[in-house]
A and B are shown apart, each in its own frame.
Chain A
């Protein structure tokens, strides 16, 4: 009941149903499609109306469910498995590092780091920053489409200005709880493959939220002008 008392939720619903991403999710997995709608509404209600405590648990639960579904379907195995090309590059770079760094490299700690941790950390960073790329959401990653990833446009570019307004508002205020949630979602999404056919669904409610508050703020601004 708490969810449906607010008029701004209507805008949130319009944003959800007007974006191609939700339709793609819904076509490919009906249950995830429904899940992300509920999560979006909970996120909106929780963060816009300043942390209604009753919604914290549902927020965490639905986020966890979304996370586990994503991990089950698309855990990024490549983080810990190296391709042939990567192994070749590692071997070559072993020589370069040894020549260029000397004893700073040729000790147990450095050798272990470069052999076992450097590449996985780099891949986690790749996924992390890939999810923070606004072009992925509004332009199907154009002009830097990712190799081996089915890129699809998630939001119509018309929503972009509202997204920017919402994002800047979140930073300016700041909506601390939202930013913490964004950081957590970004970190846990790093283990999910970029080629997941539903996209980074944990970001779905956040992007919707930013767009919605961008629209709300724009409407409020227009009201003040009149």
Chain B
């Protein structure tokens, strides 16, 4: 790459991307979700014992209560945990790094693309990825999906480059195969992509059959770990949890369709069509955020509202240039990428459609580049560009660094982190933390306290011995130093001298009065609302009353 103006701009974009992703990474979002706590502690446990917290040596998939996590992110998180210790920063590090890499990959993908109009397409696309809300959001939480999309994009880049350099084809399939271990969605869309790509470029591929067969063989090899556990419940657990194919879901949601022949088939087809179409809806892309609070920012969707304009022009650009190989690949990506997400019942689940959002971002970049290029005055072009970028960054800052910090702290378990600080100041007391609405509190405490994984393994391993990939319905009580995380058992717990901690549903004022509990402290969220209350028991009085 020549050291020129384009390269300098690219470096500046990478710096912007890195800054946006690492700025206050430890504090925003405030706290750790269930998934983040689990990933962090498992990585810590693997680093010190070679086993996850359940005592399973180097699992192919990681269990998490009644669900399953894909492995690659957890294994990679061992590295930042080793260097930076147990912190929110180290848990999110791989995501942030993946986000920066995705920016660079987008640049590389378009850097040799020849356009009729003078263009900075590569830098514009990289900048769009650097500042798009979806890309920023998922780069700043610990999620396997961010690693998944980066690997997928890298594979995509290699596939594109392999059209000129055939030897890259096996590399591309290998990387795409790895992406299936990074996130669930990639399991399906990788296969669909390889099929689509082979069909589109069959003439070029079959010129060198040996390389083609090598590539496919490498991809199949990367799927062996999946096949090893294919017969266990773990392989399909996530799909089972979120699909709409079950008879029960059909009976509860089908309405009139349950009374007609082939009703269930029609229901499934209708569900799929509506879910698939939802990903293309301008309302969802440019206005309404993902309905899951822990997967979105307040007041902003996956793209900025103004991006609908370049999106339309970008669509046109794709249609007009659809004969070009890269454009055909992007169209293929956009069409197949929502497929995995459309098989689930969660409406507009952005985490499952990151590859799709990446394809839309590139489309927007095409449109934006086109719009800038039709402006004759370079000063005017520059002004428009700067105004739009500044507006976007302002919107992002307000939605993410201000509103999310204050309005969504409960979704990230912030109050439990604050609770942990309180328990550190009261080490002589025993705490029972009510768990039904925050089952991961125990893992979070264990992670921040650097609690000995051998002790956790000793507690959890016997619960499912020999059924790591098959059993998903077990309660998991955690005991970390002076803290027990489990449901409160009123009959027994008031008869011991300890501190009971729970949210406003767990311990009401009436219950505190009834059991003669003494209020000690409360924990507020970042908005100043009380979230947790701590009460000390009085066994002499509270227990006697029960007798």
Contact = CB atoms under 8 A, between A and B. Distances in A.
Nearest to A101: B402
Interface stretch (B163-171, B178-186, B203-211, B271-279): B271-279
B285 to A, nearest CB: 9
Contact of A129 (B286, B315, B347, B402): B286
A139 B407 contact: no
B245 interface: no
A112 to B, nearest CB: 16
A160 B287 contact: no
Contacts of A144: 278, 283-284, 288, 291, 347-348
Contacts of B250: none
Interface residues of B, number: 34
B281 A133 contact: yes
B254 to A, nearest CB: 12
B282 A160 contact: no
A195 to B, nearest CB: 16
A222 to B, nearest CB: 21
A122 interface: yes
Interface string B494-524: 0000000000000000000000000000000
Contact of B401 (A100, A139, A174): A100
A41 B527 CA distance: 55
A97 interface: yes
Contacts of B405: 96, 100
B274 A96 contact: no
B288 A174 contact: no
A134 interface: yes
B6 interface: no
B406 interface: yes
Given A101-B398, A125-B287, A132 B281 contact: yes
Which range holds the interface residue count of chain A? 20 to 34
A129 B319 contact: no
Contact of B288 (A129, A142, A171): A129
A81 interface: no
Given A144-B347, A171-B316, A174-B316, A133 B284 contact: yes
Contacts of B347: 143-144
Contacts of B278: 135, 143-144
Contacts of B284: 133, 144
Nearest to A131: B283
Interface in B359-408: 398, 401-403, 405-407
A143 B316 contact: no
A168 interface: yes
A20 interface: no
Contact of A122 (B283, B291, B299, B398): B299
A204 interface: no
A108 B101 CA distance: 41
A92 interface: yes
A121 to B, nearest CB: 10
A129 B288 CA distance: 9
B162 interface: no
A128 B288 CA distance: 11
B296 to A, nearest CB: 13
Contacts of B291: 144
A160 B288 contact: no
B454 interface: no
B312 interface: yes
Contacts of A122: 299
Contacts of A115: none
B281 A96 contact: no
A138 B282 contact: no
A97 B398 contact: yes
Contact of A134 (B280, B312, B315): B280
A125 B274 contact: no
B320 interface: yes
Given A96-B405, A160-B273, 18 more contacts: A93-B403, A96-B403, A122-B299, A125-B305, A128-B287, A129-B288, A132-B283, A133-B281, A133-B284, A134-B277, A134-B281, A135-B274, A138-B277, A143-B271, A143-B345, A144-B348, A171-B312, A172-B316
Interface of A: 92-93, 96-97, 99-101, 122, 125-126, 128-130, 132-136, 138-139, 142-144, 157, 160, 168, 171-172, 174, 179
30 contacts: A96-B527, A97-B398, A99-B402, A99-B406, A100-B398, A100-B401, A100-B405, A125-B305, A129-B286, A129-B305, A133-B284, A134-B280, A135-B274, A135-B278, A135-B281, A135-B283, A138-B273, A139-B270, A143-B278, A143-B347, A143-B348, A144-B278, A144-B284, A144-B291, A157-B270, A160-B273, A168-B319, A171-B312, A172-B320, A174-B316
Closest 6 CB pairs of A and B: A100-B402, A143-B347, A129-B287, A133-B283, A139-B274, A129-B283
